[in-house]
Amino acid sequence: MQYFHYSKNIFFSQFILDLVILITMFFYFLTVQYSDFDRPYTLYLLLESHYKSLILLVACWYFISYNVGLYTISRFNKLGTILQKNAYQTVLLSIIVFAISGFKSQELFSNKLSLLFLLFLFLFTFSYRILFFIGLKIYRSRGRNCKNVVFVDENDNTHSLIDLLLRRKDYGFIPRGSFLVGIEDDDEKRLYNFDLKKLKRFILEKRIQIIYLSLKGSLPPEAHKELTYLAQNMHVEIRFIPGTVYDSFNSLSIQYYDTFPVLSFKQFPLDKFWNQFFKRIFDIVFSLFVLVFICIWLFPIMAIVILIDSGSPVLYCQKRIGFKGKSFKCYKFRTMKPSKDNDIKATVKGDDRITKVGSLLRKTSLDELPQFFNVLLGNMSVVGPRPHMVVQDEYYNDIVMRYSVRHYVKPGITGLAQVKGLRGEINSEEDMQKRVIADVYYVKNWSFLLDVIIIMKTVFKVLIGDKKAF
């Protein structure tokens, strides 16, 4: 209950501060709007003339914020998420602002002042949210507003989560102990043999707010049920640690047929028409910009250099697997000597097939530039999972779980895995698993802002070079 009130207070404090900024900016720009009039306008007269507009703006701000999730409190919020929500809030409110000016017989703001009003509203509200975000991180890092948690059972991911919570103190979770099956109690290491009565006492003594239950561990299903009932009766939140990061239950949503619950897989963001539409428009505009302003002069230079270094052909076309598992011809600048193995053998570090110029092109990723033609053709996107060779795709699709999820979106010239350093030689199944984890995250969490961030990081890596590229 204490943390509910805390979150409630944060919600209302942000909402009230937003209203103060909105109302202050509203009256300030009204005084600017009517500053050239002969008749002096007092605050009372402005309110009397435009109070209906103010009420409408305040009401719309609230309803828009509710749908955007502007005040949703999460310990795992990122600055990018805050920026995205704040931008959506302002853009949607702009429709109301211009609509009011259009419907009123007496203009609210001129077009220029309307734009300035929205710009300053965004800057002020976003700026204090940044300060609030940083302040809350520091506050939690110092042990305030923290939640006591306990871990029950273990699997391959349990210790990774414990290490993460211990390392990221700004999340505000304090691991108080672990209850495992078939061990002796060790107070120093905070390890205890699992027993429901003992766990119940521990929850009361340590004031535990969250139980993390590891799935696919040593506890039988009956114990899971008993633990769930215990958590419910003690009003303690219970969360589940998947046995593998590929567990499908985190992709399920519940629907009700009358009162009967049915589980189905959630839609991915790019399953929605408007997200597909805007991503495609962005791909076309961005690709045309790169081709017209960069490639038009860079391509001839690169072609000449390749011809001088290793002769023709300049371009290399290879079959890759793309959207929904369909193959397509992927274009690149040729960086390797012609060989019958190029389509079946992956590149390795120190590969003698790579030419001198090809090594430079690979390190700077300039060999990928012709793929902007693939983007225009609709085979690829600017951002997405990198397409693999057909033989690699067939091989890893059989041994890496959820590998095929990466085909739910178009492959990209760059991707989340690449900007996180997950590129280059694949030495083990684990190397591919890490890339697939990043690709699956991208598919499930796509946003336009995420694409922009990946592009910016890619440009930075191109300028400084990537050590993992060869």
Which CATH number does the domain housing residue 218 bear? 3.40.50.720
Same domain, 429 and 283: yes
Share of the chain above pLDDT 70, in %: 85
Looking at beta carbons, which pairs linking 15-23 to residues 24 or more positions away fall under 8 Å? 15/62, 15/65, 15/71, 17/128, 18/61, 18/65, 18/125, 19/58, 19/61, 21/121, 21/124, 21/125, 21/128, 22/57, 22/58, 22/61, 22/121, 23/54, 23/58
Rounded Cα distance between 235 and 133, Å, is: 28
Closest-CA residue to 244 (of 93, 440, 45, 5) = 440
Same domain, 181 and 293: no
pLDDT of residue 390: 81
Same domain, 122 and 159: no
Amino acid sitting at position 356: K
On whether residue 196 sits in a domain, the answer given is yes
User: Residue 149's beta-bridge partner residues?
Assistant: 175, 210
pLDDT of residue 4: 45
Output 172 or 44, whichever has higher pLDDT. 172
pLDDT of residue 3: 47
Confidence band, pLDDT 50/70/90 cuts, at residue 204: very high
Closest-CA residue to 368 (of 402, 338, 331) = 331
E-state strands within 17-167:
147-152
Residue 465 in this model has a pLDDT that exceeds 80: no
Output 400 or 321, whichever has higher pLDDT. 321
Rounded Cα distance between 418 and 386, Å, is: 8
Q: Mean of the pLDDT values across residues 203-209?
A: 92
- Domain boundary residue among 82, 115, 141? 141
Rounded Cα distance between 26 and 50, Å, is: 10
On whether residue 265 sits in a domain, the answer given is no
Confidence band, pLDDT 50/70/90 cuts, at residue 150: very high
Same domain, 39 and 159: no
Rounded Cα distance between 449 and 280, Å, is: 15
pLDDT 10s digits, 249-269: 456 666 665 566 665 667 788
Q: Which two tokens stand for residue 420?
A: 């996180």
CA distances (Å), origin 458, targets 353, 418, 453, 465 = 26, 8, 9, 10
Same domain, 97 and 216: no
* Phi, psi angle pair for 18, to nearest 5°: -60, -40
Same domain, 374 and 294: yes
Share of the chain above pLDDT 90, in %: 32
- Strand (E) or helix (H) holding 414: strand 412-414
Whether residue 187 contacts residue 251, with contact meaning beta carbons closer than 8 Å, is answered with no
On whether residue 404 sits in a domain, the answer given is yes
| H-only helix segments in 313-470 | 356-364, 371-377, 390-399, 416-419, 429-445, 448-464
On whether residue 396 sits in a domain, the answer given is yes
pLDDT of residue 262: 64
Same domain, 132 and 204: no
pLDDT of residue 160: 86
Q: Which two tokens stand for residue 300?
A: 């001839």
Q: Mean of the pLDDT values across residues 32-50?
A: 73
Same domain, 123 and 161: no
- Domain boundary residue among 141, 160, 178? 141
Same domain, 131 and 179: no
Q: Mean of the pLDDT values across residues 202-208?
A: 92
- Domain boundary residue among 141, 174, 201? 141
What is the distance of C-alpha 295 from the center of its chain? 30
Most confident of 28-32, 144-148, 174-178, 444-448: 174-178
pLDDT of residue 279: 94
Same domain, 299 and 390: yes
pLDDT of residue 293: 92
On whether residue 261 sits in a domain, the answer given is no
Q: What is the maximum alpha-carbon separation in the chain? A: 86
On whether residue 251 sits in a domain, the answer given is no
Same domain, 183 and 82: no
Q: Mean of the pLDDT values across residues 57-78?
A: 85
pLDDT 10s digits, 402-423: 777 788 899 999 999 888 887 7
Confidence band, pLDDT 50/70/90 cuts, at residue 342: low
Residue 400 in this model has a pLDDT that exceeds 90: no
On whether residue 250 sits in a domain, the answer given is no
pLDDT of residue 1: 42
Q: Which of 34-38, 284-288, 327-331 has the lowest mean pLDDT?
A: 34-38
What is the residue range of 195's domain?
147-243
Same domain, 37 and 53: yes
On whether residue 427 sits in a domain, the answer given is yes
* DSSP state, residue 215: T
Residue 466 in this model has a pLDDT that exceeds 80: no
**pTM for the model:** 0.65
Rounded Cα distance between 466 and 458, Å, is: 10
pLDDT of residue 428: 67
Residue 103 in this model has a pLDDT that exceeds 70: no
Rounded Cα distance between 270 and 462, Å, is: 27
Structurally, the chain folds into a number of domains equal to 3
Q: Mean of the pLDDT values across residues 446-467?
A: 84
pLDDT 10s digits, 344-368: 566 666 667 788 888 888 888 888 9
Most confident of 129-143, 179-193, 241-255, 368-382: 368-382
Confidence band, pLDDT 50/70/90 cuts, at residue 432: confident
